[in-house]
Chains A and B, each alone.
Chain A
Amino acid sequence: MIFPFSAIVGQDEMKTGLLLNVVDPAIGGLLIMGEKGTAKSTAVRALADLLPEIEVVEGCPFGCTPDGLLCSACRERLNKNEGLKREMRKMKVVELPLGITEDRLVGTLDIEHALKKGEKRFEPGILAAANNNFLYVDEVNLLEDHIVDLLLDSAAMGVNTVEREGVSFTHPARFILVGTMNPEEGELRPQLLDRFGLCVRVTSVRDKNKRIEILRRRMRFDAEPDSFLREWQAEQERMAAQVTAARERRDRIEMSEPVLEQIVAMTTQLNLDGHRADIVILKAARALAALAGKGEIGTEEVRTAAMLSLIHRQKRLPFEEMGSQMTKVQQLFSGASRP
């Protein structure tokens, strides 16, 4: 039983950050940083219920997109002129447990098949399961370095290439990386930090009435999960429909020159390296407009997108808290929005 996403009280930034990634997977994932016990994991796991269906190659364990990059097996089928059938499959949240070993992450030789049939066959790992899905790492800052290396490698390429134990295999591994962490427990490697498209900080809800509501809902859910889920079903369906509609609307939203200028001016003023920030802000702003049912991107969308995209990209001193310079971004906006 998973706590319904729509029943999570407050934490709007985190919820928005997650939904934007559903609307546009190219945004590149979300890092959720925050105090202990603030519904971080609950929200990510709850997202699964709102995910849309996507088109994949029927029966492909790697979830290949029929018109996209294909795995070795699908390519072979194409080469033999066997057509690829299509099917719709719901996106998933695939969890990457901290104790994972290398072979299960990237995949390896299928022992059983080799023993029984004497044939070498590739056994897909988590990266295969995560293709076109969400990949969730709880306590991502505690992940072992050698696993992070592998993760970064395939995240950068969008492909997982395996050469081990006599098997050669390539399959697409485009996943939306979502990580949660408590910064007190240690920092994240800068390369991994940069991988996350968006980043939010969560803190405990301070409002008393909201806190009471949190307590109530959680306890109700624990006591009578079925009736609780029924109560929230309509709201869940409404949200899921909103997300699906936003996905369809996304590519039709106009990205006007002034918006691009506004974004570039901002990242230039903040003296950011690289172009990733610009692209992420643009995509996030577009997804926000799509979610809101708008036809074009407004200043409000750019502002929110910037707040979500810049918190972990700003240059900062190592002991400075992340996002301590966000006021700078806010100031930029109060200047930018002036006529």
Chain B
Amino acid sequence: MNFCGFVGHDDAKLALILNAIDPQCGGVLFAGEKGSGKSTCARLFRELLPGETPFVEVPLNMTEDALLGTVDIERALKHGEKAFQPGILSRADGGVIHIDDINLLPAGMIALIFEAHDRGTNILEREGITAHHPCRFIPIATMDPDEGLLSAHFLDRFGMFVAWGAIRTNAGKMEIIRKSESVLYATSDTDAALSRLRERIANARRLLKRVHVPATIEQSIVERGIERGIEGHRGELFLFCAARAYAAFRAEITVTEEHVDQVLPLVLAHRARPAPEEQEEPTEVQPSEKNQSDNESQTERETEPHNHQNQLHEGGAQETSSEASAAPADASTRKEEIFDTGEPFPVRRIALRKDRLKRAESGRRTKTASQGKSGRYVRSGFKSAERDVALDATLRAAAPYQAMRERNGSVVIRPEDLRFKEREKKMSHLVIFVVDGSGSMGAQRRMTETKGAVQSLLLDCYRKRDKVAFIVFRRNRAEIVLPPTSSFEYAAKRLKEIPVGGRTPLSAGLLEVYRLVMRMRMRRPQTRCLVVLVTDGRANQALGETDIEMELRSMAGLLSGCKNADCLVIDTEDKKSLTKMDLAARLAEWLDAHYYPLADLRADYLTGMVEYAKSLQWVSAP
């Protein structure tokens, strides 16, 4: 199969064609579900480029050395010379870098790639080597939003973006199967089509310099950027290039409005800001004085349709919103309210202590000695289980003794010279918020304050690159309203939507979080979970027939037995109330968790508190 034989996805193909015409178009990112042909299409890009153009794949296991370049081991050992061994960035100069599943690449690595791309030069200062070389390439990447998201900052670096819809019609699917099955299908007509296309691209490339962009078009490009509230100026620059390339592709020498319109969705869709809050917030309910009664006017909120932009920014939005919208169906008689998120306030930072386990995940909260060769080479030392030799340090250790050792051509290295790389990597965390959504949380705007607290913790998580998940329990069940994600915006929105009403199935909440923690342990054994249970502790809905308290105790026992999780209980009960029960405090004991009344989360109160036992530390905010 060739580029022309690839079924559908005309927008993706157009994006690639435009990049082939003008590399200044800034590359393209394809986002869509797995197995839908994104990578296949990206790889077919090669066919549009002149024969000798480099096309370099970036594997997920890539090390920094491999990306940036490193010291040439052979020459160092044989001749005692320092020489630069080029890396991926160097090989890709003048060509394409293809990054499959870019969202799974550590953020630090993506930053390195775009740092060099932005500068147009790779500056190498590593392991005794200094090198500068030109580094101009077209970034082509794919991602599956279900697997994690890409920050807006990195999204902006891509000239174009294509939301990859899977082909659903039977006829379309049949065609795809037929083509993928048979190499023979690359029959003469697609062959001929491809060579026609290549010729057209070559012509367009020649024409490009002569394509004129009238002042009115420049103006209209800027107006479109302003209309959409685009941050920064890259969008407009890319739109200009894309429109110009498109005109050249159409063999026209003047760019028109129509050309701009054609390429607009490719360039601006991923840069547009999510719709303003007012539009998304049709119902705002003020909590009434006594909201325990069931017969008050009922407010049910429809999950708003997710618009195109949200989908781009936040990927997996659709799936979860449909889950959430299923919830209100069974509860027509119950009162339900949605409280605003209270003002976020400064909370103490949560830091998990460095543990001894070697890990392979990346994040910002806790540093950990990393396993394998993927962390950042921090310094060299004498010990290593990985036999990961730090060549530069080893050579330096051996160098002064070469004369004594009667060196003959190649360098004499003795075992005592060996130095090994110490690598460090930040470990990732999943912070699971388990929020009580029962009716009692609605009293005296407690939910508003609670949401404010969670929002504050959420901001902290975002800055530390933690993933977050939400579990809400109310009425007779608990549900994951937000599966683990690193999208802060999306989490904040979900938080806002958490409704209040009904009974308190606390044990169901604990069971759900236990399941999630166990799943994480299976899928990502290196991730630490921090369970933040936010409740007033007034459990009144059991899972089974047994006593509620017994049930809670056994659930808590299960959870505290999970070695990959730490727990934290935030008690939202009104401590001034005469009817206070302090159940949450007891629950914290059973969970072996740290316990904080909601009021204590505020930083002013926490000032001065320093040390905590076990694995949790609350460090003072700056």
Binding site for B on A (CB under 8 A): 35-39, 41, 45, 95-105, 108-109, 111-112, 114-116, 118-120, 123, 125-126, 138-139, 142, 144-146, 165-166, 182, 184-187, 190, 204-206, 208, 211-212, 214-216, 218-219, 222-223, 317-319
Q: Are B115 and A102 in contact (CB under 8 A)?
A: no
Q: Are A212 and B151 in contact (CB under 8 A)?
A: no
In the bound complex, residues from chain A placing their C-beta under 8 Å from that of B603 are 317-318
Q: Are B400 and A190 in contact (CB under 8 A)?
A: no
Choose among A104, A111, A138, A211 the residue that contacts B233 (Cβ–Cβ < 8 A).
Answer: A211
In the assembled complex, the Cα of A108 lies from the Cα of B463 at a distance in Å of 34
Rounded to whole Å, the gap between the CB of A238 and the closest CB of chain B is: 25
In the bound complex, residues from chain A placing their C-beta under 8 Å from that of B234 are 36-37
Given contacts A142-B108, A146-B424, are A102 and B237 in contact (CB under 8 A)? no
In the bound complex, residues from chain B placing their C-beta under 8 Å from that of A95 are 119, 123
Q: Are A101 and B126 in contact (CB under 8 A)?
A: yes
Rounded to whole Å, the gap between the CB of A323 and the closest CB of chain B is: 15
Residue of A nearest to B122 (CB): A97
Rounded to whole Å, the gap between the CB of B602 and the closest CB of chain A is: 11
In the assembled complex, the Cα of A154 lies from the Cα of B228 at a distance in Å of 45
The contact sample of 7 A-B pairs, CB cut-off 8 A, is A104-B129, A108-B396, A111-B82, A118-B399, A125-B125, A212-B215, A319-B456
Q: Are A103 and B392 in contact (CB under 8 A)?
A: yes
In the assembled complex, the Cα of A215 lies from the Cα of B223 at a distance in Å of 12
Rounded to whole Å, the gap between the CB of B171 and the closest CB of chain A is: 42
Q: Which of B51-73 contact A (CB under 8 A)?
A: 64, 67-68
In the assembled complex, the Cα of A132 lies from the Cα of B379 at a distance in Å of 27
Q: Which of B494-510 contact A (CB under 8 A)?
A: none
Contact with A along B449-462 (1 / 0, CB 8 A): 00000001001100
Q: Are B345 and A317 in contact (CB under 8 A)?
A: yes
Rounded to whole Å, the gap between the CB of A224 and the closest CB of chain B is: 10
Choose among B125, B400, B456 the residue that contacts A101 (Cβ–Cβ < 8 A).
Answer: B125
Given contacts A35-B231, A212-B218, are A145 and B226 in contact (CB under 8 A)? no
Choose among A38, A99, A112, A142 the residue that contacts B64 (Cβ–Cβ < 8 A).
Answer: A99
Q: Are B399 and A114 in contact (CB under 8 A)?
A: yes
Given contacts A186-B364, A215-B236, are A114 and B400 in contact (CB under 8 A)? yes
User: B308: CB under 8 A from chain A?
Assistant: no
Q: Are B400 and A216 in contact (CB under 8 A)?
A: no
In the bound complex, residues from chain B placing their C-beta under 8 Å from that of A102 are 378-379
Binding site for A on B (CB under 8 A): 24, 64, 67-68, 76, 80-82, 107-108, 111-112, 115, 118-119, 123-130, 151-153, 156, 209, 213, 215, 218-219, 221-223, 225-226, 230-237, 240, 344-346, 364, 367, 376-379, 392-393, 395-397, 399-400, 402-403, 407, 411, 424, 456, 459-460, 463-465, 603, 621-622
Q: Are A319 and B459 in contact (CB under 8 A)?
A: yes
Rounded to whole Å, the gap between the CB of B394 and the closest CB of chain A is: 10
In the assembled complex, the Cα of A142 lies from the Cα of B130 at a distance in Å of 21
Nearest 9 A/B pairs, CB to CB: A37-B232, A114-B399, A115-B80, A37-B234, A104-B125, A118-B403, A211-B222, A190-B622, A109-B396
Q: Are A103 and B128 in contact (CB under 8 A)?
A: yes
Q: Are B127 and A165 in contact (CB under 8 A)?
A: no
In the bound complex, residues from chain B placing their C-beta under 8 Å from that of A112 are 80-82
Given contacts A103-B127, A111-B399, A212-B215, 6 further A-B contacts (CB under 8 A): A39-B233, A112-B82, A144-B376, A204-B231, A211-B225, A317-B603
In the bound complex, residues from chain B placing their C-beta under 8 Å from that of A219 are 213, 237, 240
In the bound complex, residues from chain B placing their C-beta under 8 Å from that of A215 are 218, 221-222, 233, 236-237, 240
In the assembled complex, the Cα of A318 lies from the Cα of B457 at a distance in Å of 11
Rounded to whole Å, the gap between the CB of B67 and the closest CB of chain A is: 8
In the assembled complex, the Cα of A200 lies from the Cα of B598 at a distance in Å of 36
Q: Are B223 and A109 in contact (CB under 8 A)?
A: no
Q: Are B156 and A100 in contact (CB under 8 A)?
A: no
Residue of A nearest to B236 (CB): A215
Rounded to whole Å, the gap between the CB of B165 and the closest CB of chain A is: 27
Q: Are A104 and B127 in contact (CB under 8 A)?
A: yes
Rounded to whole Å, the gap between the CB of B424 and the closest CB of chain A is: 7
In the assembled complex, the Cα of A111 lies from the Cα of B379 at a distance in Å of 17
Given contacts A37-B231, A38-B232, are A100 and B151 in contact (CB under 8 A)? no
In the bound complex, residues from chain B placing their C-beta under 8 Å from that of A166 are 400
Choose among B115, B153, B379 the residue that contacts A97 (Cβ–Cβ < 8 A).
Answer: B115
Choose among A105, A118, A205 the residue that contacts B402 (Cβ–Cβ < 8 A).
Answer: A118
Q: Are A120 and B400 in contact (CB under 8 A)?
A: yes
Choose among A35, A39, A98, A120 the residue that contacts B112 (Cβ–Cβ < 8 A).
Answer: A98
Given contacts A190-B622, A319-B344, are A101 and B232 in contact (CB under 8 A)? no
Q: Are B346 and A317 in contact (CB under 8 A)?
A: yes
In the bound complex, residues from chain B placing their C-beta under 8 Å from that of A211 are 222, 225-226, 233, 236
Given contacts A36-B153, A115-B402, A317-B345, are A97 and B125 in contact (CB under 8 A)? yes
In the bound complex, residues from chain A placing their C-beta under 8 Å from that of B153 are 36, 182, 184-185
Rounded to whole Å, the gap between the CB of B168 and the closest CB of chain A is: 35
Q: Are A214 and B233 in contact (CB under 8 A)?
A: yes
In the assembled complex, the Cα of A163 lies from the Cα of B509 at a distance in Å of 56
Q: Are B411 and A115 in contact (CB under 8 A)?
A: yes
Rounded to whole Å, the gap between the CB of A117 and the closest CB of chain B is: 9
In the bound complex, residues from chain B placing their C-beta under 8 Å from that of A45 are 119
